[in-house]
Amino acid sequence: MSLLTTAAAAAELATAVDLQAGAHRYRLRPGAPAVMGIINTNPGSFSDTEHLASTGAQLAMAMAMVDAGAQIIDVGTDSGVTHGEPIDVDTQIAAAVPLVRELVARGVAVSIDTPKLAVAEATLEAGAAMINDVSGLAEPRIAAACAAHGAALVLLHTRVGHKQEAFLSFDDVVADVEQLFSERIAVAEAQGLPRDAIVLDPGLGYAKHPHDDVEVLRAYPRFAAHGLAILTGASRKYYAGVITGAEPPERLPETLATVEAVRPYPGFVRVHDVDEVVRYLSVMETLEGLRPLPAVDTSIARLKWVTPTG
C-alpha cells in the first residue's frame, strides 16, 4: 500500500462522477482518469519544448493527441509563466478561436485555459466545452457564461493574480484549498452553473512551494469528498523536479508518478505526454481489472522481442 493508497483500495473511498461539458458527457471512475492533452496557442509555456505557431500545426498536434487517447484538449491562450509579458486579449482570441472551431468540427471536446471573461466568451461561442479558469473564479461572470453555453468550469485553487510570482506562506495549505473550493462552488452555483458541470483543481504549482504541493497531493481524499471531478495538472511539475533534479522537458517519469498519485480519484489528468500517459494508464487499469485485456494474437512477433534491423 502506497502513502496515498492504491487505485483498487480507493475505489471503496470514491465513487464515479458524471460531468456534463457542452455536448460531451463523462463518466469518470476511480482509478481511470480521463486524459487532457495540452496545446498552447501562446509561446510562453514553461515546459513546452517548442512553440507551434500556426493553427495548422496546433491542430495536427491536437489530433495526434486525440488519436493517442486524449479525451479532451486544453487550449492555453496566455501562459502563466511569471517572467513573460502578458498577451493582449484580442491576440489571444484571434489565436485560439480558429483552433477551437477546427477541433469542434472534428468532434473533439475542447477546454480553454484562461482567467479572462472575453476569451472565455469568445471560445465558448466557438464551441468550447469547458473553461479552465486559472484565476480561481476571480471573475464570477465566467461561471455565468459557462452556464449559458452548457459548458463545464474548472475551479482552480490559487491566491495570487495571473502571472504574479509568489510562494505564499500557508498556515494550512490543505485547509486553504478546501475553503476556496467551498466558496467558489457556491459562487458558481449562484451564477446558475449546475453542480455536475463543476470540476475542482487543487492548483499544483500555483503560488505553492513544493512542500505545499506534496501536502496537497496527500490530501486528495479530502477534496474528493466534494463528490466532484478533480483536474490535476500532472505534467512536468516543479515539485517533482525538486525531488529528482530533472529539468521540465525531461520529467516524463515524474509526470507518471503524479498521475499514479491522483489516479484513485475520479477526474482528469492534464499532460503534455499524452501517448505515454495513456499507455501507462492502459496497463495499470488492466492489471487492476478496470479494463479487459485485449485479444491476444501470438503471431505478432514485434510485441514479443526486439527485431534486429539493418
Task: Answer yes or no: are the C-beta atoms of 207 and 164 closer than 8 Å.
Answer: yes
Q: How many of the other CB atoms lie within 10 Å of CB of 185? A: 19
Distance of CA 129 to the CA centre of its chain: 14
The per-residue pLDDT for 220 is: 97
Task: Answer yes or no: are the C-beta atoms of 199 and 207 closer than 8 Å.
Answer: no
Query: Which residue(s) pair with 268 in the sheet?
Result: 34, 231
Q: Where are the beta strands (DSSP E) in 150-308?
A: 152-156, 198-201, 229-233, 267-271
Q: What secondary structure letter does DSSP report for 73?
A: E
Task: Answer yes or no: are the C-beta atoms of 213 and 243 closer than 8 Å.
Answer: no
Task: Answer yes or no: are the C-beta atoms of 109 and 21 closer than 8 Å.
Answer: yes
Which residue is catalytic, options 116, 184, 237, 251? 237
CA torsion sign, 208 to 211 to 214 to 215? Answer: negative
Domain boundaries defined on the chain: 7-303
- Phi/psi for 165 (5° steps) reads -90, 125
Residue 291 falls in the annotated catalytic set: no
* CA–CA gap between residue 139 and residue 91 (Å, rounded): 20
Residue 237 falls in the annotated catalytic set: yes
State the fold for domain 7-303.
TIM Barrel (3.20.20)
Residue 283, C-alpha cell as written in the block: 496497463
Residue type at position 99: L
Distance of CA 302 to the CA centre of its chain: 34
The per-residue pLDDT for 277 is: 98
Task: Answer yes or no: are the C-beta atoms of 160 and 209 closer than 8 Å.
Answer: no
DSSP-derived 3-state class of residue 13 = coil
* CA–CA gap between residue 230 and residue 266 (Å, rounded): 6
* CA–CA gap between residue 243 and residue 310 (Å, rounded): 40
Q: What pTM does this model have? A: 0.90
pLDDT of the chain along its 310 residues, tens only?
344 445 445 545 579 999 999 999 999 999 999 999 999 998 655 444 457 879 999 999 999 999 999 999 999 998 655 555 678 999 999 999 999 999 999 999 999 999 999 999 999 999 999 999 999 999 999 999 999 999 999 999 998 765 566 667 789 999 999 999 999 999 999 999 999 999 999 999 998 999 999 999 999 999 999 999 999 999 999 999 999 999 999 999 999 999 999 999 999 999 999 999 999 999 999 999 999 999 999 999 889 887 777 6
The per-residue pLDDT for 99 is: 97
Distance of CA 152 to the CA centre of its chain: 13
The per-residue pLDDT for 84 is: 59
